[in-house]
Each structure stands twice: as structure tokens, then as C-alpha cells.
């Protein structure tokens, strides 16, 4: 069995080298590291001897990088940063931090909220892998019931399942301005709207849930995402109930119009954050849960 050649240098030597460069000289680095200047001189001199290249040259009282030193400095920072992350991972795992975290969220939920929470999560838990799952209706319910994810944001709370309130989601009926419905001034009845072609997003579960109030049209085209819904609408085809975080932006461009519906056009959903197996949610999951709830408020 072959083995890798033994390293000539040590991490401590590279850290000292970086400190001398960062602080502008041996004396300054010695003060920051609480070491003697002679020990730093010796460490860098030995490093240069082991490598067979000069990394630093002293000009006046200041240590300056050579061309080779500039290259080695960049690479050595990757090395020491990698070791720091490795040590942080070991600490996290030792404290019970999960090596992987799966977050599922219904497609009616704003993806931006999840991403913003993940951005805050990243610096704290670099060792934890994150998987994001987008689900729809029955797929979201199954993610909870079958514990396919550690955290689930759902607009359909299964019976007997507890969740923390995540916010309201308004579904708004819109169509493109080129569609005949856009020129209708009076409010449409549910019966009238049910005769029009409706675009819907496909459920991701194996067993579709009973039809919801906003899924009312007899004639439907089913696509995979709300982005696809908007693309079809842009061709002057059909109408769709779209989450407010997407609908508002499209209507603001002037290309889409909110339909008037008798009894009110907006369907309000309540979203909840659920931990399907709360007793198994470790520190990483708890922290992510906190960040998600803070982002939704």
C-alpha cells in the first residue's frame, strides 16, 4: 500500500509566515502572536530552507514578499483555512451537529426567505451539508408524514401535526394583459372563471390531495413550477393563482393583470414550519429553524 510523502513543512510554520506578512514584519507579528521575534525568524528561515526557495526579504525594517512568496502565501492561506474548517467540522460533529440537513418548502413559499436564512446559517455551520427540496401540496404533506426532511415549510398542515406559524401567503388570480380576461371590467363569478383555462403547478406527492378552492377550472394545464406558469401566461394563455411574492412583481411591470373575482380575488393560506421528528433535530437543525422563523417575521 503506497503512502503520501511526508510533508517537509508544518502548519505552524505557514501560520507564522502569514502573520509576518499580515502584520508587516517579525517584531509586529511576534507581538501579536505573543512569541519571541527570534523564534519567528527561525521558523521562517527553516521553512525557506526546507522548501529551497526564498519567501521573504527584509527591506529596511519591513519584511516583503518575493514573487515566489506571493504565490506560496495564496496557496498557504487555502491550506490553513481548510484546516480551520476541518477543525470546526470536528467540533460541530463532536457537539452533535448534523452532517446533513434537508429543508423542504412548498413552492408557494418565497424561496428568497429560505435562501436568506441559509446565508446567515453558512458562516456558523460550514460542515453541515444542506439539501433544499421544493414540494407542492401532497408532496409537502408526504415530506412531513414520511420524515423526508428535517424541516418543512408547508401551507397544508396534516391532521395531528403541530407547526410554528411562518406567515401568510396570498394566492392572487392573474392573467397576461393580452388575454381576453384582462379586458373584463366587472367581477367574474366562480362559475365563469371555472370555464377558463387554468394553469396549475403539479403536485409532487404520490397521492394528490383533495382539490382546493383555487383549483376550480375544469380545463387545466399542469406545469412543474410557477416560473413555467408565468412563461405560459406570457403567451396570452389562461390564468393562474400565483403567490403574492411572484404576482406583485409581475403586475408591477404592467404586463399582467389581477382578475376581479366575486367574493374577493385573494385566497389566503397560512404557512407553518414543521420539524417532522423534533426529538431528532440536532443543533444545526435547531439553529436553522430559528433563522427561518426570524426571516419570516
Q: Exposed (0-12), middle (13-18) or buried (19+): which is 40, by Cβ within 10 Å?
A: buried
Sorting pLDDT into bands at 50, 70 and 90, what band is 214?
Answer: low
Confidence (pLDDT) at 287: 94
Confidence (pLDDT) at 173: 93
Separation between Cα atoms, residue 100 and residue 132, nearest integer Å = 11
Evaluate the CA torsion angle 35, 38, 43, 47 in order and state its sign: positive
Confidence (pLDDT) at 92: 65
Q: Is the model's pLDDT at 212 over the cut of 70? A: no
Q: Is the model's pLDDT at 270 over the cut of 80? A: yes
pLDDT in tens, 130-171: 999 999 989 999 999 999 999 999 998 998 999 999 999 999
Q: Is the model's pLDDT at 3 over the cut of 80? A: no
Region 27-42: what's the mean pLDDT? Answer: 91
Q: Where are the beta strands (DSSP E) in the chain?
A: 56-59, 62-65, 100-106, 129-135, 151-154, 164-176, 198-201, 220-223, 239-243, 256-258, 267-274
Confidence (pLDDT) at 42: 93
Same fold for the pair 100-165+271-296 and 168-270: yes
24 vs 178, higher pLDDT: 178
CATH code matching the domain that covers 100-165+271-296, chosen among 3.10.20.30, 3.40.190.10, 1.20.58.220, 3.50.50.60: 3.40.190.10
Task: Name the fold adopted by 168-270.
Answer: D-Maltodextrin-Binding Protein; domain 2 (3.40.190)
Residue 195 near residue 218 (C-beta atoms within 8 A): yes
Q: Is the model's pLDDT at 88 over the cut of 80? A: no
CB atoms within 10 A of CB 49: 11
Separation between Cα atoms, residue 73 and residue 85, nearest integer Å = 18
Q: Return all residues near 135 (Cβ < 8 A) that are at least 6 apart.
A: 104, 105, 106, 107, 142, 143, 152, 204, 205
Read off the pTM.
0.70
Helix (H, G, I), strand (E, B) or coil at 11: helix
- Domain covering 11-94 assigned CATH 3.40.1480.10 in the classification: no
Amino acid at each position: 500500500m503506497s503512502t503520501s510523502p511526508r510533508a517537509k513543512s508544518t502548519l505552524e510554520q505557514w501560520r507564522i509566515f502569514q502573520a509576518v506578512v499580515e502584520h508587516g514584519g517579525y517584531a509586529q507579528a511576534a507581538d501579536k502572536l505573543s512569541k519571541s521575534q527570534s523564534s519567528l525568524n527561525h521558523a521562517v528561515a527553516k521553512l525557506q530552507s526546507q522548501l529551497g526557495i526564498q519567501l521573504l526579504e527584509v527591506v529596511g525594517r519591513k519584511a516583503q514578499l518575493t514573487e515566489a512568496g506571493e504565490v506560496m502565501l495564496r496557496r498557504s492561506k487555502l491550506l490553513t483555512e481548510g484546516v480551520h474548517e476541518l477543525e470546526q467540522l470536528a467540533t460541530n460533529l463532536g457537539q452533535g451537529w448534523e452532517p446533513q440537513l434537508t429543508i423542504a418548502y412548498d413552492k408557494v413559499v418565497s424561496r428568497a426567505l429560505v435562501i436568506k436564512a441559509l446565508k446567515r446559517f453558512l458562516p456558523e455551520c460550514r460542515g453541515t451539508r444542506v439539501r433544499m427540496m421544493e414540494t407542492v401540496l401532497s408532496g409537502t404533506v408526504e415530506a412531513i408524514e414520511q420524515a423526508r426532511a428535517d424541516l418543512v415549510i408547508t401551507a397544508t398542515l396534516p391532521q395531528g401535526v403541530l407547526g410554528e406559524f411562518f406567515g401568510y401567503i396570498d394566492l392572487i388570480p392573474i392573467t397576461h394583459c393580452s388575454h381576453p380576461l384582462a379586458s373584463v371590467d366587472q367581477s367574474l363569478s366562480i362559475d365563469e372563471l371555472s370555464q377558463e383555462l387554468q394553469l396549475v403547478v403539479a403536485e409532487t406527492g404520490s397521492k394528490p390531495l383533495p382539490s382546493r378552492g383555487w383549483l376550480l377550472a375544469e380545463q387545466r394545464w399542469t406545469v412543474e413550477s410557477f416560473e413555467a406558469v408565468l412563461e405560459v401566461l406570457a403567451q396570452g394563455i389562461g390564468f393562474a393563482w400565483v403567490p403574492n411574492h411572484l404576482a406583485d412583481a409581475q403586475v408591477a411591470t404592467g404586463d399582467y393583470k389581477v382578475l376581479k373575482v366575486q367574493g374577493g380575488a385573494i385566497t389566503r393560506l397560512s404557512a407553518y414550519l414543521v420539524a417532522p421528528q423534533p426529538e431528532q433535530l440536532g443543533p444545526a437543525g435547531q439553529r436553522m429553524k430559528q433563522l427561518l422563523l426570524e426571516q419570516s417575521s
